[in-house]
């Protein structure tokens, strides 16, 4: 079945550091790929998405490129802020359970220290 693997956390960085959170996937067909973020005490929010190979999703300074050849969708940000502290989930749809139901990774807890 479909699956998503993320680097395990917590990931602790200093403010203004460069961020990479790795995400790789296994899926049949051509899934869409997503990054969701969960800030402390809040619900899941879409951060960015990409729907086909070589697409780049971007939002709030975060970027991720859909790499079909390496089945990856790594999340990057050039300079993180304390407010980026949250749990980040990589997810795919299009070949998961329930007609576009999402398959999520386990999440990566990001901690940014001032």
Partner 1 sequence: DTGVSQDPRHKITKRGQNVTFRCDPISEHNRLYWYRQTLGQGPEFLTYFQNEAQLEKSRLLSDRFSAERPKGSFSTLEIQRTEQGDSAMYLCATPRGETQYFGPGTRLLVL
Site for partner 1 in 81-100 (CB under 8 A): 89, 91, 93-94, 96-100
Q: Does 107 bind partner 1 (CB under 8 A)?
A: yes
Give CA angle at 91 (85, 94), nearest 5°.
155
User: How many helices (H) and strands (E) are present in the chain, helices listed first?
Assistant: 0, 12
Rounded distance, CA 114 to CA 98, Å? Answer: 42
Q: Considering the complex, state which of residue 76 and residue 104 has its C-beta at the smaller distance from partner 1.
A: 104
Q: Considering the complex, state which of residue 40 and residue 114 has its C-beta at the smaller distance from partner 1.
A: 40
Q: How far is the CB of 65 from partner 1 (least distance, A)?
A: 17
Q: How far is the CB of 114 from partner 1 (least distance, A)?
A: 26
Contact positions toward partner 1, by CB under 8 A?
4, 32, 34, 36, 42-46, 49, 51, 89, 91, 93-94, 96-107
């Amino acid at each position: 079945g479909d699956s998503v693997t993320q680097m395990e956390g917590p990931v602790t960085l200093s403010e203004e550091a460069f961020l990479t959170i790795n995400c790789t996937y296994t899926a049949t067909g051509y899934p869409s790929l997503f990054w969701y973020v969960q800030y402390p005490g809040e619900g899941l929010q879409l951060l960015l998405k990409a729907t086909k190979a070589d697409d780049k999703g971007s939002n709030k300074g975060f970027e991720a490129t859909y790499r079909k050849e390496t089945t990856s969708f790594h999340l990057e940000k050039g300079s993180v802020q304390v407010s980026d502290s949250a749990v980040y989930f990589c997810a795919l749809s299009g070949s998961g359970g329930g007609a576009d139901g999402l398959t999520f990774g386990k999440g990566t807890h990001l901690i940014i220290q001032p």
